[in-house]
């Protein structure tokens, strides 16, 4: 598999480090045939990471400008990453990534990917210290991500494992964990959305492998599903992080050549 492209790309309009133009220049340098941007859609409970409403309008205009300016050099796509509880993004989009970054419990939005301390605090305060109950609630929420967002791509399916390298927080072979994850996977496999293989936590030094975990990738392949390689890029140096490693591990035929576009 050659000519890698990335479709999960964040910029300064949300919580990324670089401008869209800087990322386009990096994609051209790397020989990417396509580059998809996916700014975090506005969510009132996540203003530190998402685009503002006005920022979303400026983001859309800038990406559309680059599409026209770079025609014939690289195909640029305008996407958005929508959290399951966020408002529907306005306007037309080339694709939508549907993700779960929060659980809603007891009238509160509980962030699950900020820090292990914040995750464990949510487990104690809202799930009686039962981390598998938290996990079950997470996957019950993930199972609804297509129905709630109408997404084209399912983002980092098992994000709950972000801080669980080496089983630091829970046992990923536990029956309750496997049962919950596979139930959500089976429900989402009934939708037309594709799953991404996301190397973002690897680029941040948090995990040695991508999302989803190998047993979930195997389950997807058994169900005839291909994946979309994704770096969840927040800085240009990681635009194609881990792609060669993933392609070598699973084989190029495990991956789609391009993102689904509306």
* Phi, psi of 240, rounded to the nearest 5 degrees: -120, 30
What pLDDT sits at residue 2? Answer: 57
Is a pLDDT exceeding 50 seen at residue 39?
A: yes
Predicted confidence band of residue 1 (pLDDT cuts 50, 70, 90): very low
The sign of the dihedral angle between the CA atoms of 232, 237, 242, 243 is: positive
CA distance linking residue 97 with residue 113, whole number of Å: 17
pTM: 0.97
Coil, strand or helix: which one is 239? coil
Measured torsion, CA atoms of residues 126, 116, 82, 181, in degrees rounded to the nearest 10: -70
Q: Which of 67, 63, 103 is nearest to 80 (CA)?
A: 63
Any idea what DSSP says for residue 79? E
Q: What is the pLDDT of residues 230-254, one digit of tens each?
A: 999 999 999 999 999 999 999 989 9
**Is residue 134 over pLDDT 50?**
yes
Residue 38 pLDDT: 98
The answer to whether the CB of 147 falls within 8 A of the CB of 196 is no
Q: Of 146, 177, 162, which is closest to residue 232 (Cα–Cα)?
A: 162
Please compute the mean of the pLDDT values over residues 165-175 and round it to a whole number.
98
Q: Is 80 in contact with 245 (CB distance < 8 Å)?
A: no
Cα 174 to its chain centre, rounded Å, is: 24
- Please count the other Cβ atoms lying within 10 Å of the Cβ belonging to residue 160: 27
Token code pair at residue 127: 């799930």
Q: Note the pLDDT tens digit of each residue in 207-238.
A: 999 999 999 999 999 999 999 999 999 999 99
What are the pLDDT digits (tens) for 60-81? 999 999 999 999 999 999 999 9
Q: Is the peptide bond before 77 cis (omega within 30 degrees of 0)?
A: no
Walk me through the domains of the chain, giving residue ranges and CATH numbers.
20-97+148-165+193-254 (3.20.20.140)
What tokens were used for 76?
């640029």
């Amino acid at each position: 598999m050659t000519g890698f492209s990335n479709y999960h790309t964040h910029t300064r309009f949300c919580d990324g480090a670089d401008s869209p133009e800087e990322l386009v220049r990096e994609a051209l340098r790397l020989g990417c045939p396509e580059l998809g941007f996916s700014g975090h859609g506005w969510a009132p409970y996540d203003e530190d990471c998402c685009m503002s409403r006005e920022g979303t309008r400026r983001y859309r205009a800038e990406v559309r400008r680059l599409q026209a300016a770079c025609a014939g050099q690289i195909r640029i796509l305008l996407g958005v990453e929508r959290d399951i509880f966020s408002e529907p993004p306005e306007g037309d989009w080339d694709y939508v990534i549907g993700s779960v970054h929060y659980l809603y419990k007891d009238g509160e939005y509980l962030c699950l990917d900020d820090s292990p301390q914040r995750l464990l605090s949510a487990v104690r305060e809202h799930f009686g210290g039962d981390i598998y109950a938290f996990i079950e609630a997470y996957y019950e929420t993930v199972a609804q991500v297509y129905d709630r967002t109408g997404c084209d791509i399912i983002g980092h399916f098992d994000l709950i494992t972000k801080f669980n390298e080496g089983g630091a927080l829970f046992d990923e072979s536990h029956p309750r964990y496997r049962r919950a994850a596979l139930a959500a996977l089976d429900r989402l496999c009934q939708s037309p959305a594709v799953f991404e293989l996301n190397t973002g936590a690897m680029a941040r030094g948090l995990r040695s492998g991508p999302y989803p975990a190998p047993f979930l990738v195997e389950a997807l392949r058994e169900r005839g599903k291909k994946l979309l390689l994704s770096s969840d890029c927040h800085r240009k140096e990681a635009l194609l992080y881990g792609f060669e490693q993933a392609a070598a591990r699973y084989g190029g035929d495990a991956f789609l050549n391009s993102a689904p576009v509306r």
